């Protein structure tokens, strides 16, 4: 029997469609178990159905993360039978369960939509693959399973408070997952697979974000069911009426509306109000914030003109991001205005978010204790091991004091007390000899819990983008992200690297991180060592700059030659087109002349026919007039003529008969006309020709 993890890698329905349920209607644990049960019966090939034992086997996993108790499976079957979602039939001694036709049809339609969506994303990510995008579907799906399964388990352990030192996900884990998948699917392009995966986690895209969010949510719920059989983790009891202390990085997010995590904090704060959670901030955090702001102001003044434009998007600093945004918009830039959001931090925290201030003389006394100093160094070492970046001694001391303070409060009051932070090293760093587990929880972990427990379905729309943004800085390799401190050394050495090739500047910073990671640019002794390392990298500071100029000039020459070549080709094509155009014009004129000739002949022929018909009509009219005149003459002669009989009377009146004929001919000439007579043809044509 395939394990639950194996099945999820084969059928995307368990990954990319979010489980929808309402905690207000029935317990979350029951709803989640029922939905997973339906999906298991849908993706497991069995026409007859599965027994309870076979269903439990499907939930099994080597990690034990999906182990759902027998009673939960049995109760879920009963509920689904009652809802007519599954059908139970007894076959001999076994009772088999299968989906009802309606449920199967609904899941089938949903499966189709999800697979179309997932395939669309795979096609976008791997559109240039020689093997074809479809070859990357299975490996990409497996990679998502590995990453989000591990991430979900970490979230659950953080919430439970039993996270261990080596369990926190970072990019080395993502790197190992990539290696594992590429080893299994060795026929695919490994470099393309890795770059597309990093693009998936780095780029802001609604379709990408939906996959990340839904996958993380489904694994989170499944892991919660497996690691917490009681179902407490899927209830409001976990953090209800708790007390949350805000780390300095959370304060920054709360006060700066343009911070990438500001919306995440707003969602977090709203949930806290619904759950009756008290938010607090310690005075030492406000002091650290003040010192940090002063340091950031100093850094901005030093490095604002040291960062190449191509590197700007890779610098992690909210102030520098605002600076770049204003610069792109053509606005006047002043360093002072970047810090206006922090003029009255405590007043804003209290007024906007109902945060309470806490201060105690204990903080002053504890900072010089030996255990505090030792814990501080331990925390710094752990941070460097995780991030390959050094944490300042003052920042580490602040974190240690907060953790020790929270440990003290838990031991004295036994309350549900937590530190909310974005520092991923703190959940795995409980104080030495701590009686409780982890004291800190990251904002991305608590957002997972919040969205499932206390946020309405119609209010989850912003969560995918928020989660994806946090995931970007959580999973992506840190050597691709720079801080303002990384550029201080260039200022201290009086080097201008603004116009240097961005690649040189970035490689130099990476070189320093590898060869001198623990050196502090603010320390004169360390600064001298850093200058030495930089000078080794830049044997000639203008070396690559000159190379870049030469390369660009060569590219310019190549572009100009290509332009001339294409211009010549275009000119030849234009001449050919001109000749073709002139020939077509002549042919057109010839056709027009022929049409005009035919039209003229037609008009002439039509005119002759018209004249002929008119002439015939007028000749007929003239003959009628002649006959009438002659009849009149005969009548008058019979009445008034001389002679004994009619013949003599008419004979004696011959001159009247001749006069009528002459009169008729004269009138006929005017009535018919010359042209009409010609149109009648022979013998009139002969007459007019003579």
Task: List pLDDT tens digits, range 240-261.
Answer: 788 999 999 999 999 988 888 8
In this structure, what token pair is assigned to residue 301?
A: 């003044």
DSSP lists the bridge partners of residue 86 as 99
Distance of alpha carbon 266 from alpha carbon 276, whole angstroms: 15
Q: Which of 200, 229, 211, 163 is nearest to 425 (CA)?
A: 163
Query: Phi then psi for 356, rounded to 5 degrees?
Result: -100, 145
Residue where a domain terminates, one of 165, 198, 223 = 223
Residue where a domain terminates, one of 429, 459, 482 = 482
Residues 153 and 254 in one domain: no
Count the helix, strand and coil residues of the chain and give each as a percent rounded to the nearest 5: 70, 5, 25
Residues 291 and 370 in one domain: yes
pLDDT tier for residue 26 given thresholds of 50, 70 and 90? very low
The verdict on residue 366 lying in a domain is: yes
Taking a C-beta distance cutoff of 8 angstroms, is the pair 113, 106 a contact? no
Residue where a domain terminates, one of 436, 462, 482 = 482
Q: Which residues of 330-341 are buried (b: 16+ CB within 10 A; e: fewer)?
A: eeeeeeeebeeb
pLDDT of 195 above 70: yes
Task: Give me the half-sphere count of Cα atoms (radius 13 Å) on the Cβ side of residue 542.
Answer: 3
Task: List pLDDT tens digits, range 361-397.
Answer: 999 999 999 999 999 998 888 887 777 677 888 999 9
Q: Which of 422, 462, 4, 445 is nearest to 216 (CA)?
A: 445
Residues 361 and 267 in one domain: yes
The radius of gyration computed from the CA coordinates of the chain, to the nearest angstrom, equals 47
Residues 421 and 317 in one domain: yes
Q: Which of 15, 253, 251 is nearest to 146 (CA)?
A: 15
Residues 211 and 253 in one domain: no
Residues 8 and 38 in one domain: yes
Burial degree of 247 (CB within 10 A; 0-12, 13-18, 19+): buried
Specify the DSSP element, H or E, that contains 95: strand 94-99
The verdict on residue 216 lying in a domain is: yes
Give the mean model confidence (pLDDT) for residues 446-458: 68
Residues 289 and 203 in one domain: no
Residue 18: Cβ within 10 Å count: 19
The verdict on residue 537 lying in a domain is: no
Q: Is the dihedral of CA 204, 208, 210, 213 positive or negative?
A: negative
3-state secondary structure of 229: coil
The verdict on residue 114 lying in a domain is: yes
Parent domain of 460: 236-482
The verdict on residue 327 lying in a domain is: yes
Residues 549 and 428 in one domain: no
Residues 80 and 158 in one domain: yes
Task: List pLDDT tens digits, range 301-325.
Answer: 888 888 888 888 788 888 888 888 8
pLDDT of 230 above 90: no
pLDDT of 663 above 90: no
Residues 116 and 168 in one domain: yes
Average pLDDT along the chain:
78
Report the pLDDT value the prediction gives residue 167, as an integer from 0 to 100: 47
pLDDT of 665 above 50: yes
Indicate the angle between helix axes 190-202 and 463-475, nearest 10 degrees. Answer: 130
Taking a C-beta distance cutoff of 8 angstroms, is the pair 396, 387 a contact? no
The verdict on residue 524 lying in a domain is: no
Tell me how many domains the chain contains. 3
Distance of alpha carbon 496 from alpha carbon 308, whole angstroms: 10
Residues 339 and 392 in one domain: yes
The verdict on residue 132 lying in a domain is: yes
The percentage of residues in the chain with a pLDDT greater than 70, rounded to a whole number, is 81
In this structure, what token pair is assigned to residue 71?
A: 């009673």
Distance of alpha carbon 591 from alpha carbon 610, whole angstroms: 28
pLDDT tier for residue 444 given thresholds of 50, 70 and 90? confident
Residue 280: Cβ within 10 Å count: 15
């Amino acid at each position: 029997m395939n394990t639950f993890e194996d099945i999820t890698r084969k059928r995307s329905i368990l990954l990319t469609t979010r489980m929808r349920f309402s905690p207000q209607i029935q317990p979350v644990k029951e709803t989640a178990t029922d939905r997973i049960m339906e999906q298991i019966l849908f993706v497991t090939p069995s026409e007859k159905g599965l027994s309870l034992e076979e269903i439990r086997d499907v939930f099994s996993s080597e990690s034990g993360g999906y182990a759902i108790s027998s009673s939960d499976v049995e109760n879920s079957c009963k509920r689904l039978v009652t809802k007519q979602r599954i059908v139970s039939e007894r076959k001999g001694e076994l009772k088999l369960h299968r989906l009802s036709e309606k449920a199967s049809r609904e899941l089938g339609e949903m499966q189709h939509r999800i697979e179309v969506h997932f395939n669309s994303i795979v096609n976008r990510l791997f559109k240039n693959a020689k093997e074809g995008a479809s070859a990357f579907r299975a490996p990409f799906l497996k990679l998502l399973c590995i990453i989000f399964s591990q991430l979900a388990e970490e979230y659950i352990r953080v919430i439970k408070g039993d996270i261990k030192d080596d369990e926190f996900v970072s990019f080395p884990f993502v790197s190992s997952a990539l290696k594992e998948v590429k080893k299994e699917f060795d026929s695919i392009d490994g470099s393309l697979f890795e770059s597309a995966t990093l693009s998936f986690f780095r780029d802001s895209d609604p379709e990408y974000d939906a996959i990340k969010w839904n996958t993380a949510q489904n694994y989170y719920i499944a892991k919660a069911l497996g690691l917490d059989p009681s179902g407490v983790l899927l209830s409001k009891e976990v953090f209800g009426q708790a007390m949350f202390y805000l780390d300095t990085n959370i304060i920054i997010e709360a006060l700066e509306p343009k911070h990438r995590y500001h919306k995440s904090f707003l969602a977090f704060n709203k949930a806290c109000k619904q759950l009756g959670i008290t938010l607090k901030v310690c005075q030492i955090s406000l002091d650290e914030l003040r010192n940090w702001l002063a340091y950031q102001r100093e850094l901005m003044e030093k490095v604002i003109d040291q960062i190449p434009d191509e590197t700007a998007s890779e610098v992690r600093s909210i102030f520098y991001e605002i600076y770049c945004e204003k610069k792109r918009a053509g606005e006047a830039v002043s360093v002072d205005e970047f810090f206006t959001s922090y003029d009255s931090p405590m007043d804003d925290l209290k007024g906007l978010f109902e945060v309470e201030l806490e201060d105690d003389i204990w903080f002053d006394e504890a900072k010089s204790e030996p255990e505090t100093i030792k814990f501080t160094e331990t925390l710094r070492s752990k941070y460097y091991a995780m991030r390959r970046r050094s944490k300042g001694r003052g920042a580490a001391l602040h974190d240690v004091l907060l953790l020790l303070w929270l440990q003290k409060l838990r031991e004295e009051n036994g309350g549900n007390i937590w530190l909310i932070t974005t520092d991923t090293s703190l959940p795995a760093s409980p104080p030495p000899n701590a009686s409780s587990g982890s004291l800190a929880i990251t904002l991305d972990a608590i957002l997972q819990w919040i969205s499932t427990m206390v946020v309405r379905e119609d209010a989850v729309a912003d969560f995918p983008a928020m989660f994806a943004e946090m995931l970007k800085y959580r999973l992506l390799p840190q050597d691709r992200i720079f801080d303002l401190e990384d550029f201080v050394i260039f200022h201290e050495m009086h080097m201008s690297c603004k116009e240097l090739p961005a690649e040189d500047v970035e490689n130099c910073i990476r070189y320093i991180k590898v060869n001198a990671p623990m050196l502090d640019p603010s320390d004169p002794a360390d600064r001298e060592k850093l200058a030495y390392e930089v000078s080794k990298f830049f044997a000639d500071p203008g070396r690559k700059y000159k190379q870049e100029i030469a390369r660009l000039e060569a590219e310019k020459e190549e572009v100009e030659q290509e332009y001339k070549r294409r211009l010549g080709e275009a000119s030849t094509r234009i001449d050919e087109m001109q000749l073709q155009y002139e020939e077509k014009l002549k042919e057109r004129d010839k056709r027009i002349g022929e049409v005009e000739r035919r039209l003229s002949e037609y008009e002439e022929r039509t005119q002759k026919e018209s004249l002929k018909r008119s002439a015939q009509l007028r000749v007929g009219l003239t003959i009628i007039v002649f006959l009438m005149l002659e009849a009149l003459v005969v009548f008058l002669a019979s009445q008034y003529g001389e002679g004994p009989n009619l013949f003599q009377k008419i004979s004696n009146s011959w001159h009247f008969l001749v006069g009528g004929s002459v009169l008729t001919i004269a009138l006929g000439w005017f009535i018919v006309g010359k042209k009409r007579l010609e149109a009648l043809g022979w013998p009139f044509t002969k007459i007019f020709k003579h």
